[in-house]
Amino acid sequence: MMHHEDQSVSIQAEQSVLGGLIVNNEAIDRCVDLEARHFYRQDHQIIFAEIQRQIAAGKRVDAVTIFEKLGDSVEDCFRYCVQMQSSAVSAVNIGRHAAIVRDKADKRALAAIAIEAQELAASHNDAAFCVDLVAGKLQALTERKTLMEPRLIGDTMVDYLTMIENRLAGLHKPIPTGYTHFDELMGGGLERGTLTVVAGRPGMGKTAFGLGIARNVAIDGMSSAMLSMEMSAAQVNDRNMAAIGKIPLGWLRSPKDTPNDATYWTSLSYAANKAQSLKMWIDEQAGMNMIELRAKVRKIKRKSGLDLLVIDQLSFIQGGDGDQEWQRIGQYTRAIIEVAKSLDIAVVLLAQLNRKCEERTNKRPIMSDLAQSGSIEQDASNIVFLYRDIVYNDNTPEPELAEIISMKQRQGVPGKIGMRYNGTHTVFEDLPYRWSPKPAEAESTPNKQRRGFN
């Protein structure tokens, strides 16, 4: 048996894990954080993967069953497995040995990242790009599977009833968005620790909707943050002043003599004064990566507390380690949910839909329009689409109507509400009546004949 050791390899620990698993198959439960790639020797990787496969298939694993499958690919397989089994004797210390194997694997990975960092530093890439890439790899290295012990439902009752009491006392209520009908649709508002995706084609008002929620939450006395990777702080403030002071956005962009000039200046003074008291944070950094995003949000939480985070928008976040877009998006959404849970905040993520809906007769979005929607669909607690018919149809009967389409709700029933989009002030407003879609609009099959949407 090979016993050469250095600080990044422990062949002995690898052999102890494999031998312990052959002695006691049930000990696999104590190796949850271990994968085949963590083993240094290739034959150990192959043997561990085969043991995992056979145990997962419900088979009893021993030196013979391993040899039957790996006799051709692992040299002297049967004798080696018997040798590891006899030297392990029992699986008592398998958890400690598995931790050593994982620790050594992490050290080897760290050394590889250090070499890659040196190569990147010598490349022509920007320093910011290099740092982000290395930081992403280091972040992945720190991630661990956490194994929670199953609990009897009776044992969870004390925690559950405490939560009910807190709800009764108003301590565990959702965060209201300030849009009455939308809050009803969302079961009272946005839950802390969750991700809500608001998606739409360009021109549908995603930013106005997200900014409106952030503003309403701050006006309600809570704290909100808007990470605006599309607009500058000045543009965000244009919209805030227009909404709070009921001032036309066009006038704010080029103040000029108009009959209402004096009124607008008075309104601007009122709006600016009100905005100064709001706990609403704006960050206009373009091309932000997840490491920076995390750091910024944690800083806000420390300084003033934070209830709601709005990110505008998904496609502007940089970094990620996957080869394909859906892998990178999956990394973003999981990282954002981790931020939501660890900081106990609600997160609203604005995202752009692909062009597929514009090829259909009825251009209302459906779930598959959410670009690379697999990971978003899985990770988000709520998915909401915005649709304004006026964007496609000049002669639409209700030009100011905006449809808010809930496609997925983890805690409720998906549905559809109507709101008014006020273009002068670029704000969404509650309708004075309860709107419901006409039967033709409610149909979801794109090929059916529709009235009024040609």
Determine the residue type at 12: Q
Return the SS3 of 278.
coil
The C-alpha atoms of residue 160 and residue 170 are separated, in whole angstroms, by: 15
Return the SS3 of 100.
helix
- CA atoms lying within 13 Å on the CB side of residue 96: 5
Q: Which residues contact 329 (CB under 8 A, 6 or more apart)?
A: 314, 320, 372, 375, 376
Contact present, 226 and 215 (Cβ < 8 Å): no
Contact present, 31 and 40 (Cβ < 8 Å): no
The catalytic residues are: 230
Q: Which residues contact 48 (CB under 8 A, 6 or more apart)?
A: 17, 18, 21, 34, 36, 39
Q: In 3D, which of 228, 223, 192, 229 has the Cα closest to residue 303?
A: 223
Determine the residue type at 95: G
End-to-end CA distance of the chain: 76
- CA atoms lying within 13 Å on the CB side of residue 314: 33
Q: In 3D, which of 426, 381, 435 has the Cα closest to residue 209?
A: 426
The C-alpha atoms of residue 84 and residue 441 are separated, in whole angstroms, by: 68
Per 3-state DSSP, what percentage of the chain is helix, strand, and coil (rounded to 5)?
50, 15, 35
The C-alpha atoms of residue 219 and residue 271 are separated, in whole angstroms, by: 12
Contact present, 263 and 242 (Cβ < 8 Å): no
The C-alpha atoms of residue 179 and residue 196 are separated, in whole angstroms, by: 15
